């Protein structure tokens, strides 16, 4: 929630549990073991923390509305086709094609909003987001560049956390899933959380 974050640095916390309660932390989808130390470091260093994503209410509004002018011309037709294809793949090919445009619109609005909230007058800003959001070819960096003519590609550094696939030990093979334009500057390989094929359970 953005409102508690506005008062984050001026609030005293007796424990991490108190910080979680203050932030209405959702442990279900956001493991405090991963994110808690980052928030604690920001708090101890007096670094402002801002919510980047859009609310559920905004998602619903964007889903049924025309594409906003601010994001309509960000990508060419080929890239938009890639976004549609990825939406289809991420939903295991079970989503009606009529749902692709509104879901892409929501995805773009998320990235546009993250980029807007990431901008600071001077200095450095850090965005913690999913791998797709931080892609140079499809994600937030495009909206940062479109919104600031003085910003250059080299000013934006993207790091992805990629799960290692069993018996696949050649780093270059992991890059084959991306296009000609590098999606990330750095890749940090992590152990796989699960080898379950989630699409199989839906078919």
Quick one: tokens of 96? Answer: 């009606």
pLDDT digits (tens), the chain, 203 positions: 577 888 999 999 999 999 999 999 988 888 999 999 999 999 999 999 998 889 999 999 999 988 887 888 899 999 999 999 999 999 999 999 999 999 999 999 999 999 999 988 777 899 999 999 999 999 999 999 999 989 999 999 999 999 998 888 888 888 888 878 889 999 999 988 777 777 877 66
Residue 27 has what pLDDT?
84
Domain definitions of the chain by residue range: 2-156
Selection from 49, 41, 45 nearest residue 16 by Cα: 41
Residue 122 has what pLDDT?
76
Residue 18 has what pLDDT?
96
Q: With beta carbons less than 8 A apart as the criterion, state whether 84 and 161 touch.
A: no
Residue 1 has what pLDDT?
58
Residue 22 has what pLDDT?
95
Residue 123 has what pLDDT?
78
Give CA–CA dist 30/26, Å, rounded: 6
Mention every residue, 6+ apart, whose C-beta is less than 8 A from residue 47: 41
Sign of CA dihedral 8, 11, 16, 17: negative
Q: With beta carbons less than 8 A apart as the criterion, state whether 195 and 149 touch.
A: no
């Amino acid at each position: 929630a953005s409102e508690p974050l506005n008062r984050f640095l001026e609030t005293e916390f007796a424990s991490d549990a108190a910080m979680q309660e203050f932030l209405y932390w959702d442990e279900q989808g956001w493991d405090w073991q991963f994110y808690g130390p980052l928030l604690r470091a920001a708090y101890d260093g007096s670094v402002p923390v801002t919510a980047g994503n859009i609310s559920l209410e905004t998602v619903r509004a964007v889903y049924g509305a025309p594409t906003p002018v601010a994001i309509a011309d960000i990508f060419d037709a080929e890239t938009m086709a890639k976004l549609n294809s990825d939406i289809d793949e991420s939903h295991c090919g079970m989503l009606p094609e009529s749902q692709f445009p509104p879901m892409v619109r929501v995805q773009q609005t998320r990235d546009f909003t993250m980029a807007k909230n990431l901008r600071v007058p001077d200095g450095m800003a850090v965005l913690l987001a999913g791998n797709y959001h931080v892609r140079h070819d499809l994600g937030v960096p495009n909206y940062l560049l479109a919104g600031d003519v003085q910003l250059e590609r080299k000013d934006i550094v993207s790091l992805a956390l990629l799960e290692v696939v069993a018996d696949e030990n050649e780093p270059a093979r992991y890059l084959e899933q991306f296009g000609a334009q590098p999606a990330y500057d750095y890749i940090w390989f992590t152990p796989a959380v699960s080898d379950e094929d989630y699409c199989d359970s839906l078919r």
